[in-house]
Structures are given as structure tokens and as C-alpha cells.
Structure 1
């Protein structure tokens, strides 16, 4: 490379790797939105072009034919010459990869704009072409294929064109809009579509092949160092441009000049203080300078990251955004200067400058010390002391990866200050401590890392920071440097509790929405979905309510409450009576909401387990208690079904809800197929042996113990029986409210069959399947349809929908009181 008459050798390739940069992805998204917008607006305003034309003609008038032809001639010559000028520049510059992209973009754009429903031809838009000037050049310029090809070519070749020429040619291409308005008073919708489609096709080509080898303004960076009195002798590529900046190592000859700080860091004074000692920068004849060159990709990527962080993180977790890439680089240099004043910076800024093509230079001295690698146990205490010194001056680092932490005889040194802050808040300080806890635990072990952290910053700070040892609070760049970060964060939190004698570490919420809030949102959406069929039947149901006996409806509402007390009593006994029966009963209403808005009632089971965990039971114990309660519930349900079926006799027609023989054979075949699959597949056999078998063993042991405790056994069975019989009584009361026609025994059978279908139906709360089963069951026992339908709807209101809407605020109350 030749700069100002000097030949400077460059070791390594300056070609940027082919990759799909952030600005390429953003360009595709924006161009796709433009295509959609042009098509939508054109279709929405179809048929109104004549009024638009007349309005424009009245405002600005239309040029005469002679003047129009002259304008078309000048503009057309420029437009026709544009792609050939770019092509000549590519060939002369011998940029063959760019030539391939040029040809691909032009070909794809031309073919895409030529495809119609009748084959490959010029597309027919909804404008009347007779209003255009009848010349070959005007028709050629109005052809959307040509406009699309030009836009695609400019999009692909734009990054390699000089900024001035690129802007001039885009202005020339966009000039057809005002030119057409003056010349022919026709709004060029076809050309606008061609422009948008060509831009989109060119953006796709760039995204597919990547952006190759943009010209890096190395010569400008060399001149910036020359003005600092550093004559670059040779350059070596340390890291190609990618997610981070292009890093170069420059070996420079120091040439002191009058009035310059040649060879000195870009600091407020050339001295750095630490421990009362002053270390002056040595003006050596040779100096190695590291150049970090940030391109347009870093600018667009940083902008998107700031936007995404603002949308997902709380305000306290979101730093002030930078106005530009240059301001972000200047912030890094200023933070390096501030940390260097404390003597804890491994490098010092040398130069910061904005270069051509949107590049920004950050030059700094070669980093001192050795990268933290976990081999020297004594370095761990030095690193924690160095971080404590930064925090004492209200400086946070923000990116404590091992590559940014170095050790030297004088202590710990830091680098990489892109995310550092002066005047750091408590949130920034806790984030630093959590990051260093995780990194040091991965390098030195959990116990030494926590011990040194407590000794350096105090137990209170470590406890508060440990709440950030979660996936959402720990940045991905930090989690990527350790193996199995999830297990390591859990082990670190456990060690913090052990060393600080803390019972529980409160997990810090750093996102705007918690997982529970997102789950509740999903549940609400599911509730609206499953409630829609019921809402559509409300008018008919309201009409039937006029003839209902409200005393029976009130009795059904009171009896339905028996199910909640029964479920609470059964679960309370399964949990060995170790939780509050009052809170457990209140939880059953929230349980109804969770079970109704999730398929097969899995939300209710999960809520019960979580409630027991938050009230003193361990995870395994809570799961076992819920499993025991469900097992007894099933046994009791089947037992009652057998008893009431025998009591009902043989006169009832049960064919409405007993499957036919073919269905039973299919179900049996499916069951045997599933069993065979579990027997053949090794992973499924291992799951049965290692995961399911211990749980079955635990439940069996609980049942055996339960048989030896008659009081507890009767309480659980009684609670499960009250759940089933309470629902049956509620349906019977609903039937009686509309005139009756069925005995309590037959209604109980119908209710238990409907409950079975509710647990098996894939819809949330069994909506649809339960109503159909109950109505069909009542019809099988001779209940007329004009009584069965409103009775079942009233029953579902009393036992399902009213508890659901009451359960939502109760669920929030349980969360506020830390009961779930």
C-alpha cells in the first residue's frame, strides 16, 4: 500500500469476510415494506387516477410536446448511460465478483418484472398508457423493467461507488417522479413499483452473496497517525472485520514535532497515577499501535441492538443511546482515559477520527499484561480489587470477558470500554459483580470466586448481584465464555447462599415482562378463543333464562362451591397438612382459571405444584403430592362411575357417549402401538426406567402409606368424592331450574362422563367436548333438548365461567403476596 509516496507493507488480508451484515438484513426488510406499500396504495387507489391527473394538471400544468421530448431526451440519455458507466468502472477496476453481482441483479430484476399471468411479457399496470407521450424513448423510460434493473444494479454496486456519485445517481433515478409530473401529468405508479421491486431484488442479492471486500480507508488512518507524529512502517491484520471492528497492528516510528504529543496517549496529560507513583509515557523511537476500524455494519448492528434492548429491558437496564457510531467510539476513548487515570487501563487512546465511507478509527497503545486465564490463583484477588477500585470511583466496566481483563505485576488491568459508564448506578455495579462472579467461577472455580468476591466488595453487594445470575440478566457475550452457563450460575448462587448464610436470593427482573406475565397473556388470549363459541350462544341462552327457577340456580351456585373445598381438602391431606388450608382453598379458584385456559388442565396442575413449593414443600414433594391427589381422584371417579352405573340399571340408553366397536378397536390398536414404540426405542425405554418409574414408585409408596392412615385416607377420598359429586349436584340443580326430567343418579353419570371427556379433550377447559357430551348424555336419559341445552349452559356458567373470571384477580393476588 502506497501512502503519500511511502510504501507501507500490509501483512494479512484486508478483505472483509463474506457475511450477512446487519445493514444488509435491514435493507431487505425496508425494501420489502416499500414493495408492499406501493402495491397496497396502488390497489387501494385504483380507479382514481383520472381525478389525480386532472388535479395535477390544474396545479402545475403540462409541458408542451416539444419541451417534453427535449426533457425526455436529456433525462433518457442520462438514465441509459448510468448502468453502462457503472459497468465500465467495474471492468476497469477488475472487480469480477462485483461484476457477477451486477449481472445477477440486472437479470433477476428484468425477469421478475416481465413475468405476468399470461407468461413472460411487459407487465400491464392499471394506468392508461395512451396518456403518455408517443415516443420510443418515453415508453422505454416508463418500462418498469428498466427502472427495476437500474435500482437493483445501484443497490448491489452502491457500497463500492464514491459517496458523491452514488447519491447523484440515486437522485437521477428518483427524478422520474417530478419529471413525469411536469411532462405528462401522470403519476408513474408502474415506475414506482419497478423502483421498489428493483431495490428489493438488489437487497436480496447482496444478502444472499454477502458484502465482499469493501474498500477500507487504511490510507486515511495512516495519515491520522502521521499527524500524531507516528509514521507507520508496516501493518498486520490482527482480526478481520466481522461482528467486531477490523483490528490492525501498526509498527510506527515516533517523530516528535514541536507542539505535538508524539508517542503519548490521548489523555489529559501524559501521566497516569496509581498508588502515589507517577509513570511517564516513554517516547521511544519505535511504538506499536493497535488500530480498531469500525464500519457501517457496526453502526447498523449497534442501532438495532440498542432498539432491541430498549424494547425488552427495563429503563434501569437500558443505557442512553449513542447518536452515532462516532459518538460511541469517542465514548470508548473517554472511558479508557478515565480508567487510565486510575492506573487500571491496559491500553491508552492514541487517536480517534472519522474516516471516509462512514468508517471511524480508534487507535490505542498495545495492551499490557497477560489475559486472565485462571492459572494464577493470586490474580483472582487482584482482579476483584481492581474492580472494587473502579466502583469506588463510580465507574462500571460492563463487559468483563476474560479477553478484557489482564494481570500485571502492578495489579489488574482492564480493556474494552465500549459499555463502560462514568457515574455508574447500583444496577451497573451489580451487573459488573455478577459478570465477574460468573467469569471467575468458570476460570477458578465457584468456591474461590465467591470467597474473593465477598472479601473484596462485601456480602451485601454479592447477594444483591447474585440475583442477576440468570439467563435474562446475564448478557450472551458473557455466557458464551463459560461452559454450561445455566448450571454454573445455579452453582454460584448456591455457593453465595452457603458462604453468606442467606436463605434465599431474590432473582432480579431485568426485562419489561416476566415469564409469568407472558404466560398470563397467553392464557387470556386462549380464554378469549375458547369463550367465543359460548358468547355467540348468549342471546339464545338469555332468552331461555326468563323461564328458569332462580332458587334452583342459586342452589347450583352454592353446591358448586363444594368442589373447591373438596379439592382443597384432598390436596391439603396429600401435602401432609403442612400448608394453609385457607390459602389452598383460595388457590383453587385461580386453579380453575389456569386449568380452563390450558389444554387438558395442565395449567392447573402446574399452579398447584408451584403453590406447594412456595409454601414450604420441596419440588419433588410438591410434585408427589399433586400426583397422589390426581391418582386418588381418578380412582374415586372410576369407583363412583361404576357404583352409579349399576344403580341406574340397564334401561338407560348410553350409546350417545359410548364409542362404537370400531373406535374402541382403533383406540386399543393405538395404545398397543404406543406401548410397542416405548419398548423398541432405547431413549423411550430409558425415560420409562429413569424418569417415570421412580415417580410411579413414589406414588405407589404414598398410596401404601395412605392405606395405613385411615383418617388421612378418608379425608383425601372424601375431598375427591366431594369434587365429583359437587359437580353432579350443580348440573342436577341446573336441570331442575328449567323443569327437571332426570334423577340425581342419571345426572351424576352424565357429569362424570363429561368430566372424563374434559380431561381428554385437546381444547382448553374441554370447551365444546364437555357441552356436547353433557347434552347428549341428558338426551340419552330422556331429557328434552329445550331443557338439556339451557341446563348445560347454566351449569357451565356456574362451574366454569364464573370461577374463571373470579380466578384471574385471585391469581394476581397470589402473585402479589408471593404465594405462587
Structure 2
């Protein structure tokens, strides 16, 4: 008896509907990253409304008045009908939509939406009836709504907005239009009736959205992801007949961008036999490897990608946000382009959308291990060379991989290298993207095989010119997140890679290319400068400058100026003492003056170090010894600073006692013990201990050998230590003379303690020149020491004028001169 083709196909489809898939049970509910992002955005919008209205109260009141005057001429019957329609429709339309959802068996979503509406109602009711009523003129009343009779939030609208945000109306344009029309109509009637303001309605919108999305994220949504069985069964639409499958990635790992399944095929519906299964695998070998893209995961990692997009220049940023369809097309195009370029990569068999919530890409399975799982002894030069050959084919095809980490290299069972994970790739890539790929792969292979082997195996394949182009790109910011974390644990890795390339081609040494639009430190500095202005400006505003100038003793100001000038000579001697090589005195003084200019664009503890290191390198000192020399001077300065602070704190405490003995005051003892206890407790935390150890090691690596060299020359040792002490003396004299210029006086031991404390605070705070922190610490310390607040503020301003602001112009001139002479 013969069968038709349809009859032959039908039993096979029925059989494949029960394809066994070995995978962990999927959760019934998930928390979508998109809900968390929308919650954060809504909270930011609410904060922006509060901030904006606090600065523009008159504008919002003017808008309110204009609306009231405009609607006063409208027919009363029309306003009454609009009020009636909005009062009825703003509740009736969402209820009707909820009933429609119940008929579609979406009751859980409706229940969560009702919960969000109840929370929104409770919050708005509390704000309207309790907070503002109990505290008239408070933040909500005065900053946002200006103390009018309007309610702080619209109690009728906020629960509806929260309900709509949770229940979801995507794809239902008519329901969306009617619902939001009713909400807008209710808002308009609230404005005309003067029980809601423009700012209140804006805050109501963001509050309702925040509560809705926050509730949805906290409770979770029903899992829309298709099961593994559904995904595997969908392969029949590609003419394939799956027989068995298993989940390959670990759902608890959180490292995969998509789900991965291994699939074993049977004979197709047309009677064709599949290729034999590859050896290995959890079930004896797979024919296919599926990558499943879930719609709800498309926003995963979006904040980080946006941060990278804003921080890095346009040509270096990867994808930010793509739709499911766009992600499917992008990965498919990259896979086909890589195969056309001749790179060894798993063949893409087909792509398919699985409903509206997922899509799959079916790759030919290649048995093997990721480079991360390959033992070090199996990473041979032949394997590294093969990786470089596949990479060269991508480069010739103008294809950027963008994530050439250890997991992106698959070492097959036959020992051949395959490039995988092309989902973030880019076709027709520019030169910068290709060079970044080269820097990334160099770093990845150097982490596994060492910089020497990574560079040595790349030279025969890529050539010295191509490797030289990667030297400016070897920056941590240019690498992927996982690679940056690995490089952070081995801070010498990137310099060693650069040295290996420069050894091959010395002319390839070049300054790193600026890849960042800004650094995180810049944002921190801007915030810190704003805080500093908040601290310093009120101090200046409270001073009568005319009276100040009239009563000041200006010859003391001249003494302070001379003491400030002495500090540059002291800093030069301090540096010269810890450099075995001979340095010219006055050029070194000019370098310290130039460093005072750099302080305005770099933190106090960073600018001087960078300038001195660059100066030593230009003077013929090799980079390693130059860094070690500056580190040695900084280390001795740190030790001297701590010892002087303890010594003079001890003496200051003893001079305040009635018996004038050398017993320190109880306050000093308690402060020292408290600081020691806090430091000891902090160092018991392993992570803090690792960070402190790493920072000290990076700052003072190579310092001990350099100090040994200096100890062999008593003259150098005396110069370095003498300069260190003279530097402290100069600053203390400047501060003491500034105090005396305005009629104040303190014991000299107290002045030393005040300076050392404020200097430590200024070095710890990453603001240019310690701006804000030094002023605040000095003023507070001088006031506590017994100086009048006005005198303390005046003395601090003069001191900072002489030590920070006045040297800026001559420092800029010195910086320009030294650059012209190629000394910096």
C-alpha cells in the first residue's frame, strides 16, 4: 500500500512533538530587566520634575495661570461634559480592558495591575492627606507646588497610570489611544478646576509609572520564553527532524547572552539521512547547536552598554539596544560574512522566529572546548598561530568580532581553532574597530600564553606593521569587561605586550589614542568641585573684603609669599635626593612650578607624580627607574608625614595640659586609637586588604632597590630627607604667616598639626589640588584650635591663594617652556 507525501510527513511531525529535551525547569515567573530600567527612568523623571520646579516655580505658576485664564472663556456646559466623561472614562476604560484580558486568560497580569493601582492609591492618598497637611510649607508643598491649594499628586490618575503600566497594551493601539485620551482629559479637567497643577500632573505621571513598573519587577511576570521542546520542535519548519536535545549552557551561570541547545537529528521528512553525529557531547554527539534569543533578554545589560556608548567615542561603542528581529539579522549577517571571508567558524544552517517572544539560530555543531577550558600545556604555538590565521581572515574581510575573549575561541577535537560568538560582530568595520579587535585578541592570548608567545606567534601571520598599529590601543578601557577584570589583577600585562611589540619594531612606540570622551574621575571631580563651591562660596560671602584689606598686616602676607616660594625649592631638592642621576637644580624647580599648574586639572596626589615621572624620563632616566624614583620620594614623604603628625599631635596635646608634661591629651589618644581600630577592622576584610596591598604594590613597586641606591650616597640621602622636611616647613610657615596677617595667632605645634591634617585630606580626595576638601579641613581645624571663624576663613583664603591659585600663571609659563625645551 502506498502513502502520499503528506501521509508520510504527518507521522514524523507527530513523533517530533515529543522530542526529549534535557534542560532545567524554567521558572514560572521572571523579572525582566526592562521593567527595572523603566522603574529607574521613572524615578529619575520624578526627581527631575522636583528639581526643575524647585528652580522654576514662577514658570509653573505662570503656566497654571495661563491655563486657568484660557479655560475661563470655555462654555461651562462643555467643561461639565468633559469632567463627567473623564471621571467616568478614566476608570471605565481600564476596567473594560481588564475584563477583555480576563477572557483571554490573563488574570494574573490583571491581578498584579490591581495591586499596583492599590499601592499607587495608598501612596498618593498619603501624600495628599497626611504629608502635606502635617507639614505645610515642607518640601512637597513649597518646592513642587508652591504652597497653593492644589494637591501634590492627582489621586484619581496615578492608580490608573500604574494599572496601565502593569497590564500592558503593547500592540493594542485602539485601547492605548482611548485610555491615554481619558487620562489626558482627566488631567485637563484637573487643571481647569485648579485642584491640580502642571508640575503635580507631571509628578503624578512619573510616580504612577514608577509604582507600576516597580511592582511588576518585584512580583515578576509570567515567563513568556518558549520551552526547549517548543524551540527544538520549531526546527521542523527548516526541514529538519530533531530527535533529542539538551541545554548546553548553565542557566545559573548568568554568562550567556542567549540559551544554547545541542540537537541530535534523525532522518528528514524527505528520507535523507543526517550527517553522522560528532563525537563527544553530553549525549554522544550533536548535529546542531542552537542559540535562542529571548525578547525579554534584549534589554539585559542596557545600562552598561549605554554607559560605554556615552563614555567611549562613537566608532568604538558596540550595540546599545536592538529589537529581537534586528539581533537575529545582525548575527546571521555576521555569520554568513565570516564564512564568506574563509574564517573557520560554525556554519549557520538556518534562522527562525519562534512565536513573538524568541528566535533561534541553528549552527552546525563543532565538538571541542572553549579556550578558557583548555589546559595551559595544550596551548601550543601551532594552536596560537591557527587562531591568528582565522583572525587575519576576519580582518581581510573587514569584519570586527568585538568580543574576542577566551570563550570566543573554540578549540575543536581535531586541534583546529574556530571563532564563535559572532552575535556582537560588525561588517564593513572601520580601521579603529579592527585595531581594537587586534588589541583584544593580543590581550586574551597573552593572559593564557604570556605576552612573549602571543606576540611571537602573531608576527608571521599579521606582520610587524599590523602589530605596531595595536600599540596605541592597548588600554584597559578598550577591552571587554571580563578582560579588564583579568588585566586589573595583572597590571604589568599591557606594558609587557607593548614592550614585546616595540622590541620587534622600535619606531612603533606611540602615545595611546584617546578612546574616552570622559573618564569616571572627571564626573567625580565635577561633583566634588560643586560641593567645594558650596563650601567655599558661603565662606567668601560672609567676609567683608573691604574691612579685611584695610585691617590686614600685609608684611606678614609677604612672609607667607616667600614661604610659598620656598616650597618649590624644597620639592625640587626632595626629588633630586631620590634620583641617583644628576639633575639640574633650577630646571627641577621649574618642573615643580609646572606641576602647580597641572594640579588644577588632576587630583593633588596624581598631578605632581605624573609631571615628575615624565621629567625624569625626558632627562634620560629609564621608565622603570623613573617611576621608582618618584615612588621612593612619595614613600619617604608619606612616612615623614605620618611621623610628624604623630609627633606634633603628641606635643600639641601635652602643651594643653595643666602640668606642661609630655603626657598626651585624652582626645589625641582616643583619636589615634579610634583610627587604628578602624584601619585594623578594615584590613580584616579580604577584599579591602587586597585592594590596599595592590595599590601600595603598584605605587611603590621597585622603590626598595631605588632606596638602596640612594642610601649609598649620604649626600643624596640628606638632600632628599632635607627637601622633605623643608617642604613641610615652607607650608607651615606660609599658613602661620597667613594667620598672623589677619591678627590671629596659634601655637606653632597646632599650626603644624592643622597643616598636616588638611594636607592628608587634600591628598585623599580626588579633586584638582584637593579643592574644597583642603579649604573645609583647614577652616574647621583652625576654628577648633581656637581661631575666630572669620579670621580662620580669611587666613585659609590667603594661604590657598598663595599656594594654589597664584602659581597657576607662572606654572603655565613654566609648563609651556619645559615642553618647548622637550623637558616634559
Q: Identify whether the pair has TM-score above 0.5, normalized to the shorter chain.
A: yes
Match of 1:367 among 365, 368, 375: 365
Kindly state the Cα deviation for residue 213 of structure 1 after the two structures are TM-superposed: 0.8
Task: Report which of the two structures shows the higher radius of gyration computed on alpha carbons.
Answer: 1
Kindly state the Cα deviation for residue 475 of structure 1 after the two structures are TM-superposed: 0.4
Preserved CA contact (<8 Å) 2:653 2:665? no
When the two structures are superposed, what TM-score results if normalisation uses the length of structure 2? 0.69
Kindly state the Cα deviation for residue 204 of structure 1 after the two structures are TM-superposed: 0.9
**767-776 or 576-585: bigger deviation:** 767-776
Distance 2:531 2:815 in 1: 16
Kindly state the Cα deviation for residue 505 of structure 1 after the two structures are TM-superposed: 7.4
Match of 2:120 among 90, 98, 109: 109
Kindly state the Cα deviation for residue 23 of structure 1 after the two structures are TM-superposed: 1.0
Gaps of 5+ in 2: 1-10, 138-152, 275-284, 763-769
Distance 1:792 1:76 in 2: 63
Distance 2:536 2:331 in 1: 55
Q: What is the correspondence of 1:541-690 to structure 2 with a 5 Å cutoff?
A: 544=549, 557=561, 560-592=564-596, 602=605, 606=609, 610=613, 614=617, 616=621, 617-628=625-636, 659-660=656-657, 664-671=665-672
RMSD (Å), alpha carbons: 6.2
Which residue of the partner structure matches residue 318 of structure 1?
317
Match of 1:173 among 165, 169, 179: 179
Kindly state the Cα deviation for residue 436 of structure 1 after the two structures are TM-superposed: 2.3
Pair 1:540–1:299, CA change in 2 (3 A): same
SS at match of 2:438: helix
Once the two structures are superposed, what CA deviation does each residue of 1:181-213 show, in whole Å capped at 9, x if it has no partner? 898965884888666544322211222234441
Pair 1:303–1:590, CA change in 2 (3 A): same
Match of 2:754 among 730, 747, 757: 757
Which residue of the partner structure matches residue 419 of structure 1?
424
Kindly state the Cα deviation for residue 337 of structure 1 after the two structures are TM-superposed: 1.3
Which residue of the partner structure matches residue 3 of structure 2?
none
Preserved CA contact (<8 Å) 2:561 2:734? no
Distance 1:412 1:310 in 2: 31
Gaps of 5+ in 1: 127-142, 265-285, 642-653
SS at match of 1:472: helix
Q: What is the correspondence of 1:463-502 to structure 2 with a 5 Å cutoff?
A: 463-478=468-483, 484=489, 486=491, 489=494, 492-493=497-498
Preserved CA contact (<8 Å) 1:110 1:145? yes
Distance 2:66 2:616 in 1: 71
Which residue of the partner structure matches residue 401 of structure 2?
397
Preserved CA contact (<8 Å) 1:463 1:505? no
**499-508 or 304-313: bigger deviation:** 499-508
Kindly state the Cα deviation for residue 338 of structure 1 after the two structures are TM-superposed: 1.6
Preserved CA contact (<8 Å) 2:298 2:322? no
Tell me how many residue pairs correspond in the alignment: 741
**331-340 or 657-666: bigger deviation:** 657-666
Which residue of the partner structure matches residue 73 of structure 2?
58
Pair 1:164–1:330, CA change in 2 (3 A): closer
Kindly state the Cα deviation for residue 630 of structure 1 after the two structures are TM-superposed: 7.3
Distance 1:637 1:287 in 2: 70
Pair 1:817–1:633, CA change in 2 (3 A): farther
Kindly state the Cα deviation for residue 457 of structure 1 after the two structures are TM-superposed: 1.6
Preserved CA contact (<8 Å) 1:114 1:120? no
**329-338 or 797-806: bigger deviation:** 797-806
Preserved CA contact (<8 Å) 1:526 1:598? no
Preserved CA contact (<8 Å) 2:578 2:633? yes
Which residue of the partner structure matches residue 385 of structure 1?
389
Match of 1:459 among 433, 456, 464: 464
Distance 1:681 1:341 in 2: 56
SS at match of 2:437: helix
Kindly state the Cα deviation for residue 666 of structure 1 after the two structures are TM-superposed: 2.4
1:29 aligns with 2:44: no
When the two structures are superposed, what TM-score results if normalisation uses the length of structure 1? 0.69
Pair 1:659–1:802, CA change in 2 (3 A): farther
1:244 aligns with 2:231: no
Kindly state the Cα deviation for residue 442 of structure 1 after the two structures are TM-superposed: 3.9
Once the two structures are superposed, what CA deviation does each residue of 1:240-294 show, in whole Å capped at 9, x if it has no partner? 887623445564764579xxxx999xxxxxxxxxxxxxxxxxxxxx995554343
Preserved CA contact (<8 Å) 1:344 1:414? yes
**225-234 or 462-471: bigger deviation:** 225-234
Distance 2:86 2:607 in 1: 74
Kindly state the Cα deviation for residue 312 of structure 1 after the two structures are TM-superposed: 0.6
Which residue of the partner structure matches residue 5 of structure 2?
none
Once the two structures are superposed, what CA deviation does each residue of 1:510-554 show, in whole Å capped at 9, x if it has no partner? 32235786787678668756753664377525863699889x977
Which residue of the partner structure matches residue 432 of structure 1?
437
